[in-house]
Structure 1
Amino acid sequence: MAILREIGAHFTPDKGTVFTVWAPKAEKVEVLLHKPEPIQVPLQREAMGYWTALSEFATPGTRYTFVLDGETQRPDPASHFQPDGVHEPSAVVDHHAFAWTDKKWKNLPLHEYIIYELHVGTFTPEGTFESMIERLPELKELGVTAIEIMPVAQFPGSRNWGYDGVFPFAAQNSYGGPEGLKKLVNACHAQGLAVVLDVVYNHMGPEGNYLNDFGPYFTDKYKTPWGTALNFDDNHADAVRNFFFQNALMWLREYHIDALRLDAVHAIYDMSAKHFLQELQEHVQELEEQLGRDFILIAESDLNDVRLINPMDRGGYGLDAQWSDDFHHVIHALFTGEQSGYYVGFGKTDQLTKVMEKAFVYDGLYSEHRHRTFGSSTAHNQAAQFVVCSQNHDQVGNRMLGERLSELVDYETLKVIAALVILSPYQPMLFMGEEYGERNPFLYFVSHGDKDLIEAVRKGRREEFSAFAWQGEAPDPQSEETFERSKLTRSYTSESQQNKLREYYKRLLQLRKSTACLAKPDKDKVLARMDENGAVLHLVHHTREPYCYSLFNLSDTAQTVRLLRPDEAAGNWKPLLHSAAADWGGPGTDQPEALEQSADVTLPPKSVLVLAQQTH
């Protein structure tokens, strides 16, 4: 494991600020302190192209830039704050000054993570870190245990999903900067909520990206869907790897983040003997030992490759978990009927049973969409290593009109889908607003300052939709109206049906946490079977007693089925939840107090019945 090198501006009260920057091709590097009387401090060259200097005149809040070879003046690539945006000077941050109150906080074990993905700018009307704090009790009451924040690394302007970030170390100024993010994390821990931060290590945004002025951060060996690939295995790659290792450790150490969601790791190209992701996990483990805290790394990947989460001694990278796109695609295609783009080949009922037991559909099978054999077996992986959802920022926001499922399927179907996710053996993730059927879309939005770039983004979005059979005109990503339309309305406070849906989600999450076999499920002890008509899914968790038995009627008509007899199950079944009940906005149902083994059960159309084993 490589020895890490400190970079950026690091302030300590008794010494001042140490500036370190990597610029291997420069002949001279200075730091310019933007004081009333500017101060220029020469940096000393050290090994491997690093330059460093100590200045007692640089204090918290001091604006500064680096000057390369007496000509090119740029913000710090490892800036911790860009108070005036991506093109202006960086600012020194004192990470010792914040008064943390979370000393007693301990990260949750992975199997207890119930994740709520959100976008800071659209989660509240104000769109800031601090404005989110007053909403945290709502999330706690809902039953989620962790929030996942879409990327907050400094991007151009004030409106962006966050994947156009160009200063990975700097918390977005328009959200509230470093101080605001720390206040939010501190408040989350006070509420008992873990914090997952989405970070992007596969590409950098275009506007304000000055990295090439400093060194070979990029390589032409590979190409990503978003432009030039980052240099993780070419000449000078050690310093680039160090840059991103330090970034990950900073979020965990300085901001008390509990878990990182690693964006699109399939676009992190690295042919090194030790992959970047494996070495990242090693550095995080070292930090865990130093701080006595547990951290979690979750990969987003479309490769269905368990090498990401397999232990290092089995040739894996040792990450804690990864997303399962297959789970989403099966459910989405099955209930919406969409079969274009990457939904080709999905939507079959037998795939639903497979994904409930195996996490992946394509685990070494031929993919019609990819035109090749795809994926690997999950036989040796735990259920908690997979994060599943029916909606997320990508799957909603990358639709032409940003429609949520609440616009694509009816109310009763929303409840069936919610139960499939939450009662699965995997770690469930909700996308902000889904719990009450938010009707506002979640659209793609930017606020670039470069006219040519703005037009390129518009064109790129149109081309991206060409594989799908969607009708209409894509909203303008640059328009502020597009951004405003994407904000949550929290209309459940005034709409009865939406409030009942939210209460239904609360009940499902209570069951998830309070029922022993759901709270820590074992996918090897999950039985998923479709009835002979392909209309009803039987899902039995028999990890530990009392067992849990869920029946999902996926059809538009009432269905009568006979209960299965899971191995070693004894006693009758007690109903815990019926989605058709009036309490949840359903048409109402007669719910027996108990059902005998192998009884016949009639299920209303598009409904879920959850049963618990009665052992006495």
Structure 2
Amino acid sequence: MSITREVGASYHPEKGVTFTVWAPEAEKVEVLLSKPEKKTITLQREAFGYWTGLAEDAKPGAKYKYKLNDDKERPDPASQFQPDDVHEASEVVDHTSFSWTDENWQAPPLEQLIIYELHVGTFSEEGTFEGVINKLPELKDLGITAIELMPIAQFPGSRNWGYDGVYPFAAQSTYGGPEGLKKLVDACHAQGISVVLDVVYNHFGPEGNYLNDFGPYFTEQYNTPWGAALNFDQAHSDHVRNFFFQNALMWLRDYHIDALRLDAVHAIYDMGAKHFLQELQEQVIQLTEQTGKPYLLIAESDQSDIRLLNSPDKGGYGLDAQWFDDYHHAIHTLITGEQEGYYEDFGKPAHLKKALEQTFVYNGLYSEHRKKTVGTDATANPAQQFVVCSQNHDQVGNRMLGDRLTQLVSFDMLKVVAGLVILSPYVPMLFMGEEYGEENPFLYFISHSDKDLVKAVQKGRREEFKAFTWQGEVPDPQSEDTFNKSKLQHSYTQNEKQNQLREFYKALIQLRKTHPALAKPSKEKMVVQLDEENLVLHLVHTGNDEPLYCLFNISNKPQTFKSDALEGQQDWEVILDSDDAKWAGNGGSGKTSVRSTETITLPASTMLLLGRTT
């Protein structure tokens, strides 16, 4: 393994605060303590350009900056708290005093996760970690087993998706800071809910990004959509890698986070002998050996590359899972008819069948959108290695008007889509509010203080949508109104139809958790048939002795058929009918069972679940 060294301000009750910063080109580095009293500590240079020093009388809450070469005063790159935004002093944090109550917590295995992605600022009325805590009973009631927090690393201002973070070790101050995050994680574990944290190791935001003043954190060798790439393989890269390894270990160890979602790993450029992601997984495995707690690393990638998941002895990086966009795109294009931008590669019914049976649709095929051959064959990779959804922050928020499926398809189709995701063999993920058909959009928002940067972002958003024919004006990302429009209404308690949709989601999630055929969903123990002309999907989880037969009419017309999948079987009982009145349907067929020789009629945009009669 490469160099591992603690960075930042580390508090030890018995000896004070140790400050460590990497600044290989500096001639002099000092700590300027400004609270509780002003004091200057000159750091000592050590090997590889690390500077360190001890402040015996410093305590948690002390504020400080680093002074470089008697000139620039900067916050700590590894600051764990920025109480006064990104340009001001860092604050020392105490990780020894929090009263955790989760000593008996055991995270559920990957295949048992029902993930709920949320944005802290818009999920609750308060827009804080405390606001999320207040909603946890509702998520537990829904059946959620893991929440996934969009990035909470300190960003400029109070409104941001989180991908403009510039202090990856610091929990956002306006959300509740380090103490608030620990309380949230502890409360989640008390409710039986895992916590996945979205972390960004491929770029930094522009405002408040002072890393270049400390050292060669970036390289011009590669370009990313956000500018120069982080330096993971050039000169001095060992110490950049260490910075992010320490970050990941901090979240897992000090905040009891259960899993990290690694943003856009295709923009992590590393041509070295051992890829950053492989070594990150090795560091996490080492932490598991120390703590006895299992941790997960889940990648986001648009490359359809099983190298992320395969073990090192197969030339892979050994990550636990990855987001799987093909399934989303296959569903979305079929139910909306949209085929612009990156959707042009999808839209055929066969894509949905292939996504279920073989996972990657583009598994070595030519992509018209990308103008190149894309992907690898993931057929042999187990289903639990892939996270699927019908909506997420990208697929909703990167639409010009942030419109959810609620605005794009019928209420009946929302239920069909829920079934396609929750009853797939893959790990299902919901996007906050989808379970009741939230009608507010999820828009892109920022609160930068640099006027030129604001103009650049506004222009960039307009440019981004040129490949689409969406009508209307691009909402101003800097406007507070844009942010407020994105807040969830949690209106299902006053809206009967929304509550019925939520109850439908609850029933599907309960089925996912309890039906024997879904105990360990598998592509191998599954039969998929698709009538491509009439858009009727037959998905049978064969399991062991109790199969689950899922019928989906993805068309907007009633469909009548006999199923080959029913032949040779005994009669089937109706487990769930999405057209039932209790799910705000049209009454359903009223049948409690279906004979194996019977012709079945599915109303438009409905699903029917059948189980073996005993």
Task: Name the TM-score class by shorter chain.
Answer: over 0.9
Q: Which residue does the alignment assign to 2:69?
A: 69
Query: What TM-score do the two structures reach when normalised by structure 2?
Result: 0.99
Alpha-carbon RMSD across the aligned residues, in angstroms, is 1.1
Amino acid at match of 1:229: A
Is the 1:312–1:318 Cα contact (8 Å) retained in structure 2? yes
Instruction: Answer yes or no: is the 8 Å Cα contact 2:577–2:608 preserved in 1.
Output: yes
Shift of 1:597: 2.4
Q: Deviations over 1:259-309 (max 9, x none)?
A: 000000000000011000000000000000000000000000000001001
Counterpart of 1:577?
Answer: 576
Counterparts of 1:336 and 1:254 in 2: how far apart (Å)? 44
Contact 2:36 2:62 in 1 (8 A): no
Determine the C-alpha separation between the residues in 2 that align with 1:91 and 1:97.
16
How far the C-alpha of 1:112 sits from its partner, in A, is 0.4
1:596-607 pair list within 5 angstroms = 596-607=595-606
Q: Which amino acid aligns with 1:612?
A: G
| Aligned partners of 1:62 and 1:91 also within 8 Å | yes
In structure 2, how many angstroms separate the alpha carbons of the residues matched to 1:297 and 1:561? 43
1:475 corresponds to which residue? 475
* Structure 2: distance between partners of 1:81 and 1:591: 58
User: Deviation digits for residues 116-173 of structure 1, max 9, x if unmatched?
Assistant: 0000000011100012111001000001110000000000000000000000000000
Residue pair 1:545, 1:613 contacting (<8 A) in 2 also: no
In structure 2, C-alpha distance between the alignment counterparts of 1:584 and 1:564, rounded to whole Å = 28
1:118-267 paired onto structure 2 within 5 Å: 118-267=118-267
Measured in 1, the distance between the counterparts of 2:578 and 2:81 equals 48
1:2 match = 2
Q: Quick one: distance in 2 between partners of 1:532 and 1:139? A: 36
Between the aligned partners of 1:327 and 1:168, the Cα distance in structure 2 is 31
1:570 Cα deviation after fit: 4.2
SS of the residue aligned with 2:282?
Answer: helix
Residue in 2 aligned with 1:394? Answer: 394
Equivalent residue, structure 1, for 2:80: 80
Does the Cα contact within 8 Å between 1:353 and 1:529 map onto a contact in 2? yes
Distance apart, 1:543 and its partner CA: 2.5
Other-structure match for 1:357 = 357
Between the aligned partners of 1:224 and 1:407, the Cα distance in structure 2 is 33
Corresponding residue of 1:25: 25
Give 1:292-371 correspondences, 5 Å limit.
Answer: 292-371=292-371
Indicate if the aligned counterparts of 1:217 and 1:237 stay in contact, CA closer than 8 A.
Answer: yes
Cα offset, 1:3, TM superposition:
3.6
Segments of structure 1 that go 5 or more residues without pairing to the other structure are: none
Contact 2:425 2:521 in 1 (8 A): yes
Give me the whole-angstrom Cα distance separating, in 2, the residues matched to 1:485 and 1:35. Answer: 39
Q: Where do residues 437-452 of structure 1 align in structure 2 (5 Å cutoff)?
A: 437-452=437-452
| 1:10 to partner: Cα distance | 0.3
- Structure 1 CA distance for aligned equivalents of residues 403 and 447 of structure 2: 21
Q: C-alpha separation between the residues in 1 aligned to 2:544 and 2:478?
A: 52
Letter in 2 for 1:597: S
Distance 1:566 1:234 in 2: 59
Letter in 1 for 2:19: F
In the comparison of the two structures, how many residue pairs are matched? 614
Question: Does the aligned pair in 1 maintain the 2:578–2:588 contact within 8 Å?
Answer: no
CA distance in 2, matches of 1:151, 1:519: 31
Distance in 2 between residues matched to 1:613 and 1:244, nearest whole Å: 51
Alignment check: 8 A CA contact 2:534 2:559 kept: no
User: Could you say which residue in structure 2 is the equivalent of 1:592?
Assistant: 591
User: 1:598 offset after TM fit, Å?
Assistant: 4.1
Q: Which one-letter code corresponds to 2:132 in the other structure?
A: M
1:526·1:540 contact (CA, 8 Å) conserved in 2? yes
Shift of 1:613: 2.0
Is the contact between residue 554 and residue 604 of structure 2 (CA under 8 Å) also seen in structure 1? yes
Task: Return closer, same or farther for 1:315/1:595 CA change in 2, 3 Å cut-off.
Answer: same
Deviation sequence 1:420-447 (CA, Å, 0-9, x none): 0011000000000000000000000000
1:77 is paired with a residue whose SS is: coil
Query: C-alpha separation between the residues in 2 aligned to 1:412 and 1:36?
Result: 60
Q: Once the 2 structures are TM-superposed, how far is the Cα of residue 82 of structure 1 from its aligned partner?
A: 0.4
Q: Distance in 2 between matches of 1:345 and 1:13?
A: 58
CA drift at 1:36: 5.2
Structure 1 residue 593, shift from structure 2 partner: 2.3
In structure 2, what is the Cα distance between the partners aligned to 1:330 and 1:380? 20
After superposition, residues 428-443 of structure 1 pair within 5 angstroms as 428-443=428-443
Residues 45-60 of structure 1: pairs in structure 2 closer than 5 A: 45-60=45-60
- Equivalent residues in 2 for 1:510-589, closer than 5 Å: 510-531=510-531, 533-565=533-565, 570-589=569-588
User: Hey, what's the Cα distance between the residues in 2 that align with 1:598 and 1:158?
Assistant: 61
Q: Match of 2:462?
A: 462
Residue 282 of structure 2 aligns with which residue? 282
The answer as to whether partners of 2:561 and 2:601 remain within 8 angstroms in 1 is yes
> What is the identity, as a one-letter code, of the residue corresponding to 1:407?
Q
Contact 1:531 1:561 in 2 (8 A): no
Structure 1 counterpart of 2:612: 613
1:175-207 CA distances to partner (integer Å, 9 max, x unpaired)? 000000000000000000000000000000000
